[in-house]
């Protein structure tokens, strides 16, 4: 996988100049700063599949360029098996990037026009947490999803707890950050925002919320790319009543893949098995 990423980076560098990071081969659109562009801009984008038949594509929204790339040739059986799925993906990337860019602009407008979240919002009261910088539009809380310090999407939380991302927006690799991340700081990585708010309140450390189990690994990889000196600790959910315990499995797999710390809610044995995360535990203790 590292060899594929290095080969793909060389292809990127042939167009954009020297890059000091390795691409992530997860099949999702990633944005990056193009050397020479305005500081803080993320005009470059790429998509890379690092499976049996490595393929990718990349371009720049500033220049409009679009390039495709394929890795070392594999045997005929492997090429045939992957060709149908992978050949179509790079061609679809510009349209996906267009939708994500439009949603990003919409998210930034919503965020700019929203007001600070009301601490008495029903969801916050039920979860027993403070707003921690959230904003509010009408009755919906707005949770900012960022990547590389840029706001790309929002999660909207209704008073009854219903959660929705903006349609067409990027989630993979993004996170919602509570607190300020300094050099070599401990950083907790969890699933939901309320869980992150509880962790931040109880530990004082910054917390990145991946929003769901399926995004833990992608968010963790992006965080280590952005903050290579942080002490990353995965704070997993423990879905004890769900077959396969997806929360615990995803957290364990993420910690193993990243080689970082791992913690779960410290159950005493008295709590209902329906409790799954750090916020559930804190709320149950407060009300017991």
| 72: confidence class by pLDDT, cuts 50, 70, 90 | low
Q: What's residue 81's pLDDT?
A: 30
Position 139 pLDDT exceeds 90: yes
Phi, psi angles (nearest 5°) of residue 73: -65, 140
Q: What's residue 210's pLDDT?
A: 96
DSSP annotation of 23 reads: P
For residue 201, CA distances in Å to 6, 75, 169, 194, 204 come to 40, 54, 29, 11, 6
Position 163 pLDDT exceeds 70: yes
Better-predicted residue by pLDDT, 50 or 254: 254
CA atoms within 13 A on the CB side of 263: 15
Q: What's residue 1's pLDDT?
A: 55
Q: Radius of gyration of the chain from Cα atoms?
A: 20
| Residues 26-67 pLDDT 10s | 877 888 888 888 888 888 888 888 766 788 888 887 766 677
CB 265 within 8 A of CB 275: yes
| Residues 164-193 pLDDT 10s | 999 989 888 899 999 998 777 899 999 999
Phi, psi angles (nearest 5°) of residue 95: -65, -40
β partners of residue 46: 30, 58
For residue 71, CA distances in Å to 11, 54, 124, 128 come to 10, 5, 49, 51
Position 270 pLDDT exceeds 50: yes
β partners of residue 155: 143, 165
Position 73 pLDDT exceeds 50: no
Exposure pattern of 267-285 as b/e (b: 16+ CB <10 Å)? Answer: eeeeeeeebbbbbbbbbee
> Which residue, among 109, 108, 119, has the nearest Cα to 141 in the 3D structure?
119
Position 253 pLDDT exceeds 50: yes
Residue with tokens 């027993």: 128
Domain spans in the chain, listed from the N-terminal domain onward: 2-106, 117-287
> Which residue, among 198, 182, 263, 188, has the nearest Cα to 232 in the 3D structure?
188
| Residues 83-131 pLDDT 10s | 333 443 455 667 777 888 899 999 999 999 999 999 999 999 999 999 9
């Amino acid at each position: 996988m590292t060899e594929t990423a290095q080969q793909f980076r060389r292809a990127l560098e042939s167009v954009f100049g020297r890059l000091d990071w390795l691409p992530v081969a997860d099949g999702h659109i990633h944005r990056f700063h193009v050397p020479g562009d305005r500081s803080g801009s993320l005009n470059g984008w790429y998509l890379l599949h690092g499976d049996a038949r490595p393929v990718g594509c990349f371009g720049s929204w500033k220049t409009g360029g679009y390039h495709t790339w394929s890795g070392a040739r594999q045997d005929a059986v492997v090429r045939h098996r992957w060709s149908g799925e992978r050949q179509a993906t790079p061609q679809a990337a510009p349209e996906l990037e267009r939708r994500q860019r439009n949603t990003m602009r919409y998210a930034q407008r919503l965020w700019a026009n929203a007001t600070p979240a009301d601490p008495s919002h029903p969801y916050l009261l039920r979860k027993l947490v403070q707003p921690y910088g959230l904003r509010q539009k009408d009755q919906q809380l707005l949770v900012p999803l960022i990547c590389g310090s840029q706001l790309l999407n929002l999660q909207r939380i209704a008073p009854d707890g219903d959660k929705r991302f903006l349609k067409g927006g990027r989630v993979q690799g993004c996170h919602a950050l509570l607190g300020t991340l300094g050099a070599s700081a401990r950083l907790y990585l969890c699933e939901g925002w309320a869980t992150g708010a509880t962790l931040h309140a109880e530990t004082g450390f910054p917390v990145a919320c991946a929003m769901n189990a399926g995004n833990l690994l992608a968010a963790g990889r992006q965080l280590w790319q952005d903050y290579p000196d942080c002490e990353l600790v995965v704070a997993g959910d423990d879905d004890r009543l769900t077959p396969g315990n997806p929360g615990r499995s995803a957290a364990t797999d993420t910690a193993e893949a990243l080689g970082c710390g791992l913690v779960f809610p410290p159950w005493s044995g008295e709590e209902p098995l329906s409790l799954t995360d750090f916020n559930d535990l804190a709320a149950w203790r407060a009300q017991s």
